[in-house]
Amino acid sequence: MRAIEPGPNLLLIGGPKSGTTSLLLWLRKHEEIYHPWQRLASGAWESGFLLGGIVDNPYEPSKPKGTLILPHEADMDYYQNESLIIDKSPQHLYSKKALNTVRDFMPEAKVVITIRDPVDLFISLYHQMEKTVYFSTPFDELVEMLDDQDWIADANIPETWSFLTYPRFSAHVKAWVNELGYDRVRVVPLGAIAENPRSVLKQLSGWLNIDEDKMPRDLSVKNPRGKLSNSPIRRFLREPPNWAFTAARIFLPFRSLRKLFLDPIRSKGWKYVPSEKQPIPDSVREKIASMFSEDVEFFQSPESFIPESVIVKVNSE
């Protein structure tokens, strides 16, 4: 078994589509922050190292409960004694195992939790799922499935678990703050990241005791838009048939060679093309809001539930 020393001590967690990627891209450019998964493809940036093993929840629809999840291999070859080692794994927020591990065995680790309006999170998560190769449920049909479950998450139904779990983040945020203590956690609303990212980074720099002037100047973020191309060649690259894998092992017997020559080719399969987002009627938005009312209330006024000192607030520039 391979040991990683030192381990991550700056953890980005939170609801999906809530700004963790933006924070990761900015923070890892600081000279005192090292990201062990930086040289992997963007889809592998989320290590999920605290979820490793047989998972008790379907954190993705394609990975049902009981799936063996192993974290991507960390690359410490370029580590130069940076004081902070960053990890971005949003799903850690929802894992009691992850919280217990950080509390009991990672006393120096600090945690940044991003949050977003639950209704916007739900809808954005749906549009993100649409981009994948394993989800094709129409929005109206999804809502009907949730109605059939009375909007109660069931770990045995991976198709709906994410939609019924991730917008319900308030209890998890409160647990992380209470279990770790006020000095080890900062809660960052997505609106703060969008309105004044420079101020967010300034506040995080002070909390982390690193030089804010070493933060990047360029704070633009380019997220892929549209949907994955459905052309035959790009589908082939995303999901090669078994014979293609067999041939690759014959002609390139070493895994390192396959990664070197084939990964850049396969990456061409993940090309996004323009697409129209399905408009969500106001009546449906209101229904979603009513189902996540406690979390909507938490998001609108987090200082009523957790100490104001842990919340990163900004003024618009």
Q: What is the pLDDT of residue 112?
A: 98
Per-residue pLDDT, averaged over 97-103, amounts to 97
Confidence of residue 227 (pLDDT cuts 50, 70, 90): low
Q: Which residue has the higher pLDDT, 150 or 259?
A: 150
Three-state DSSP state, 81:
coil
Nearest 5°: phi and psi at 228? -65, 135
CATH code of the domain occupying 10-225+292-310? 3.40.50.300
**Lowest-pLDDT range of 51-65, 119-133, 168-182, 214-228:** 214-228
Closest CA to 9 of 145, 196, 210, 203: 210
Q: How many CB atoms lie within 10 A of CB 170?
A: 20
**Residue written as token pair 């030192």:** 6
The percent of residues above 90 in pLDDT, for the chain, comes to 63
Given CA atoms 57, 58, 60, 62 in this order, what sign does their dihedral have? positive
Per-residue pLDDT, averaged over 205-230, amounts to 83
Tokens at 293, concatenated: 């009312």
Flag whether pLDDT at 92 surpasses 90: yes
Per-residue pLDDT, averaged over 300-316, amounts to 92
pLDDT tens string 258-304: 878 887 888 787 676 666 667 889 999 999 999 999 999 999 999 99
Assess contact for 135 and 129: CB atoms under 8 A: yes
For 271, residues 6+ apart whose C-beta sits below 8 A from its C-beta are 228, 229, 234
Distance, CA of 230 to CA of 99 (rounded, Å): 39
Q: What is the pLDDT of residue 237?
A: 82
Q: What is the CA radius of gyration of the chain?
A: 20
For the chain, domain boundaries: 10-225+292-310, 230-269
Distance, CA of 112 to CA of 84 (rounded, Å): 13
Q: How many CB atoms lie within 10 A of CB 306?
A: 20
Tokens at 164, concatenated: 């019924």
For 201, residues 6+ apart whose C-beta sits below 8 A from its C-beta are 26, 27, 212, 215, 219
Per-residue pLDDT, averaged over 146-172, amounts to 97
Assess contact for 40 and 72: CB atoms under 8 A: yes
Assess contact for 292 and 122: CB atoms under 8 A: yes
State the alpha helices, DSSP H only, in 87-186: 96-105, 118-130, 139-148, 158-165, 170-180
pLDDT tens string 33-84: 999 988 776 565 788 899 989 999 999 888 899 999 888 888 888 999 999 9
**Residue written as token pair 């104001």:** 308
Distance, CA of 41 to CA of 269 (rounded, Å): 13
Per-residue pLDDT, averaged over 130-136, amounts to 76
Distance, CA of 20 to CA of 12 (rounded, Å): 6
Distance, CA of 9 to CA of 14 (rounded, Å): 16
Residue type, 237: L
Assess contact for 8 and 87: CB atoms under 8 A: yes
For 216, residues 6+ apart whose C-beta sits below 8 A from its C-beta are 26, 29, 30
Question: In the predicted model, what is the mean pLDDT of the chain?
Answer: 90
Q: What is the pLDDT of residue 60?
A: 85
| Intra-chain end-to-end CA distance of the chain, in Å | 49
Q: Which residue has the higher pLDDT, 26 or 276?
A: 26
Say how far residue 222 (Cα) sits from the centre of its chain: 16
